[in-house]
Structure 1
């Protein structure tokens, strides 16, 4: 089957372990810029899951940038997940962001909720199979680090109720 035909036929990819690990199922229309971002999410997360994600993105060799909104000096290190959420709870005016660059794609988390790990990205950064592979690498890394399902949805707030564009379920 031609690549263009496969791109049109497939609504999502679901990778389970290594069995389907090398398959890329990419639909151009899922990444057409429409004014909204896309969200990479792990639902039912715990603070320990956040810490595993922190450790995983730090050890991946990707560019990682963390910042506090109210802190005027650069943060020299990535704090622990516990430190992040404790400070956000103590200081209601504070916010934080964690940005991770995988190839040409930036993923950013704003720590909205402890129970949902969410990174946003600009769909117009995913322009071909090469940049889709960068997205897939990030999704796999997150899922494998916490051992939980990862979904990519349209930008929104109720990701559990939204249809997923992409899905990864680690073994």
Structure 2
């Protein structure tokens, strides 16, 4: 899919917030599939937020345990997925939702946008789920929607967004 960067670059104009990518209605099996995919296909940064470093693999067993931990005593870990000059982070907040985030300033060209779309499309394919890209914590207002099985890639233009905001 070819996008008109001039119509969509507004989504990534830096405003002091991140852009989130959500996968909803997931379970532990989906998380396991995601972790295996990331380990096999991406360069990763991993660790506690203050000590994140490049690793060859992330610890699937630890992260699954972290997702199901009810004690709150386990050390939180972050995964950074490196795609050229873009880092897509994921955190392990809840079992039923995968959340990634991106610094908007890293998506400064059509080429970088296509890398994000490709990543979203691949995650949609392996999980057989819809992914949405939103403003930070704005899960009810998708700016980009990707669903591999239905061949959906929908990108909201600024003009479309203004119509919806009215």
> Measured at CA, do residues 25 and 39 of structure 1 come closer, stay the same or move farther in structure 2, by a change above 3 Å?
farther
Aligned residues: 145
Q: Secondary structure at the match of 2:2?
A: coil
SS of the equivalent of 1:52 reads helix
Q: Which has the higher strand share?
A: 2
Gaps of 5+ in 1: 1-21
Displacement after TM superposition at 1:102 (Å): 1.0
Higher RCO (Cα < 8 Å, 6 or more apart): 1
**CA distance 1:129–1:51, shift in 2 (3 Å):** same
How much has 1:23 moved relative to structure 2? 3.2
| Contact 1:39–1:120 (CA under 8 A) maintained in structure 2 | yes
| Distance change (3 Å), C-alpha of 1:130 and 1:83 | same
Query: Quick one: structure 1 residues 135 and 164, their matched pair in 2 at CA, closer, same or farther if it must change by over 3 Å?
Result: same
For residues 42-88 of structure 1, the C-alpha deviation after alignment (integer angstroms, 9 at most, x for no partner) is: 0011111111111222222x3112214699999763122x5314246
Rounded Cα–Cα distance in structure 2 between residues aligned with 1:66 and 1:116: 19
Greater helix content: 2
What is the root-mean-square deviation of aligned Cα atoms in Å? 2.6
Partner of 1:106: 87
Equivalences for 1:141-160 in 2 at 5 Å?
141-156=122-137, 159=139
Structure 1 residue aligned with 2:3:
24
Q: How far does residue 25 in structure 1 lie from its aligned partner after superposition?
A: 5.3
Query: Where do 5+ consecutive residues of structure 2 fail to align?
Result: 150-166
What residue number does 1:131 align with?
112
TM-score (norm 1): 0.75
Map 1:49-64 onto structure 2 (within 5 A): 49-60=30-41, 62-64=42-44
Task: Find the aligned partners of 1:91 and 1:73 in 2 and give their Cα distance.
Answer: 26
For 2:112 and 2:36, locate their aligned partners in 1 and report how far apart those are by CA, in whole Å: 23
